Chains A and B, each alone.
Chain A
Amino acid sequence: MLQLQFFLVVAAVLFCIGIYGLIVSRNAIRVLMSIELMLNAVNLNFMAFSNFVDSAMIRGQVFSVFVITVAAAEAAVGLAIVLGIYRNRATIDMESFNLLKW
């Protein structure tokens, strides 16, 4: 029988892969993809709790719809920023994005 802990462990694996990719990647687009992975892991946690703890009111599913909305907005704005930096710097290496450094 499926249990809550199975889903929590899978979500933890996805979240840790997302953090690893977020820090290690040098390609800016791959960093954005890692952020999407982390948001998906959080959504899976919401779903698991909504099914196993709160199955009559399913408030977790409502929250995950809001998370999906914010993730879509974040992807659009993040990719626009990456394109803007690419036009100025002609590279997408995260190590050369130091415009805001003092």
Chain B
Amino acid sequence: MTLGEGVQLVTFVVLSAMAIGFALGVVWAPSIVYSGFLLGGVFLSMAGLYLLLNADFVAAAQVLIYVGAVNVLILFAIMLVNRRYTFAPLKLGWLRNGVTAVVCLGLFALLTAMALNTPWQLEPIQPTSSVLVMGGHFFREYLLPFELASVLLLMALIGAIVLARREFVIPQAGEGDLSLLERARPQLESESERQAELVSTR
């Protein structure tokens, strides 16, 4: 890395502030569409942090895979299920949120204390060509995991198609042309809706 130390520090502060702010936005944004776009901001600022850590190949892979594929996939899923939901308030929901916040703050304190108090075995940073070294790793020691990853991706591809597929049926004669060529799925009734019906019938 040929950047000066002050430039590195300022870049790190800006990128980490962006990542943390966007991550808070992902969790707290009122609209799920805003969350989806803020998630892209988190991924981009993480790619910048990877560049600060001399990982140029993984930064490019992060931009291509996360921003280009995963984020777009999430935005498509949001568009497919996008409706304005008003979630019915939970009984003791505030208690769950409070306990979760306390547990997360405790975990953060634990991790920070661990990171600051452990004597790390630091080595001087050697400039290497990360693409050459990683290519050597992938085709020598990590050849089996590399091939298994491709099989895993194939399995995920087929599994996602099977899970999200609609079952089409051949239209019967006499039915209108505008009928949906899809096998009707029974709508399962959820527990909260059943209770709401019970309350409304009383």
Contacts and interface: CB of A to CB of B under 8 A. Distances in A.
Interface of A: 1-2, 4-10, 12-21, 23-27, 29-30, 32-34, 36-37, 40, 43-44, 47-48, 50-59, 61-62, 64-66, 68-77, 79-84, 86-93, 95-96, 98-99
A69 B152 contact: yes
B133 interface: yes
22 contacts: A1-B9, A2-B5, A6-B16, A10-B19, A17-B23, A19-B104, A19-B107, A29-B78, A43-B58, A61-B55, A61-B134, A62-B138, A68-B66, A77-B160, A77-B163, A79-B74, A80-B159, A82-B77, A83-B80, A84-B164, A89-B188, A93-B87
Interface of B: 5, 8-9, 12, 16, 19-20, 23-24, 26-27, 32, 35-36, 39, 42-43, 46, 49-50, 52-55, 57-58, 61-62, 65-66, 69-70, 73-74, 77-78, 80-81, 85, 87, 90, 96-97, 100-101, 103-105, 107-108, 111-112, 115-116, 120-126, 128, 130, 133-134, 137-138, 142, 145, 149, 152-153, 155-157, 159-161, 163-164, 185-188, 190-193
Residue of A9, A69, A84 with highest tally of chain B CB at under 10 A = A69
Q: Is the interface of A mostly helix, strand, loop or mixed?
A: helix
